A = this chain, B = another copy of it.
Amino acid sequence: MTASSPPAIAIDLSAAIVAVAGQTPQVLTARSAGGIAALPAGVFDPETHRTFEIGLRSWVRDQTGLGLGYVEQLYTFGDRGRLAAPTQGAANAEHAPVTRHHVSVGYLGLTRVPPGADTGTAALLKPWYGFFPWEDWRLGRPSIIDSLILPHLTLWAADAEGEKSDLWRRVPPRRTRLIQCFGGDGAPWDEEKALERYELLYEAGLVAEARRDGHQALVSAEAACGEPMLFDHRRILATALGRLRAKLKYRPVIFELMPETFTLTALQTTVEAILGHHLHKQNFRRQVEGGALVEATGQLTRTSGRPAALFRFRREVVAERPTPGLRVGAKG
């Protein structure tokens, strides 16, 4: 780590751009050369754009015609392993000149316009639970957990051989990590630990990216958990999922995904889509209205049942309270 000859490094910006259509959270993807799903990504050029965020915004606007609203930096992944041994799919020369080390800065973007047609590139929206089937508990406990994940992870945790190589890092033993990520033994399911769960599945060889990167795989490519993505894009998407689920609770980011006016039921449905589980209806309404997060517009919708009142976000809350969010806890 001396500065005598600093190596040349390229910085990839990758964006997980999220929208919710009805009950389905979606992420904006671009098909890569190998046909594998990929996040919109590009190489940062400081000569063209002063900051990461400026570059990201103008470039997403140019390529997808989509004006980004809320944007937040997630994490910067510097692992060399990210590009190691791409045995299947996508030796995408545009994104991965192997002669230069790549570092990727992940971003979360929220948008309220679900764009149907793509302008420019082959951009399309895909349901994000296709990449993380174990994260959606709205129809009950996902079957993949008991049929595939827990059987393999239990074996993996019982294998003490792999433990030793973990000691030089500050990670807890496999069994503890398994319980903290997937619950059981008194520990609850924590919807915010989406990244930790993905990384555990990666280490255990249960996702296709592990095999691609040259690690030992526990299951065949067909049986692997969830749809794979290019490079470390699924890790970035898992980071986005966890961050968004956490941030909902103390910042009013959910309204970046809503139209200007909306019903309380639509708001709750959107929150449930993100969190991956259902909420107690009365408590949700009390928190939203009692917390002064919204105000009624006076208008009503016509649906098949009783008309619902329309609300809009009260932007003033951010000035009134330190952490205005949806303190959702009770499941329903």
Contacts and interface: CB of A to CB of B under 8 A. Distances in A.
A8 B11 contact: no
Given A50-B81, A52-B78, A79-B51, A42 B3 contact: yes
A9 B319 contact: no
Contact of A8 (B8, B69, B79, B321): B8
A80 interface: yes
A192 B251 CA distance: 13
Interface in A50-66: 50-52, 55, 58-59
Nearest to A175: B319
Given A42-B1, A43-B1, A180 B76 contact: no
A50 B69 CA distance: 35
Given A11-B78, A50-B81, A319-B180, A43 B6 contact: yes
Interface stretch (A98-106, A134-142, A221-229): A98-106
- Chain A interface mostly: loop
A322 B249 CA distance: 14
Contacts of A186: 320
A180 B321 CA distance: 9
A226 to B, nearest CB: 23
Nearest to A68: B170
A180 B323 CA distance: 11
A188 interface: yes
Chain A interface bracket (under 10, 10 to 19, 20 to 34, 35 or more): 35 or more
A253 interface: no
A280 interface: no
Nearest to A47: B7
Given A8-B9, A44-B9, A322-B192, A3 B95 contact: yes
A76 B52 contact: yes
Contacts of A81: 50
Given A55-B1, A80-B46, A6 B101 contact: no
A318 B177 CA distance: 10
A295 interface: no
A2 to B, nearest CB: 8
A46 B1 contact: no
A92 to B, nearest CB: 10
Contacts of A101: 46
Interface string A184-204: 001110101000000000000
A232 to B, nearest CB: 12
Given A76-B105, A97-B6, A1 B322 contact: no
A170 B9 CA distance: 30
A47 to B, nearest CB: 6
B6 A10 contact: yes
A176 B318 CA distance: 10
Nearest to A185: B319
Given A1-B55, A192-B322, 15 more contacts: A8-B8, A9-B10, A9-B11, A9-B44, A9-B46, A11-B78, A44-B78, A46-B78, A50-B79, A51-B79, A51-B80, A76-B105, A78-B105, A179-B319, A180-B318
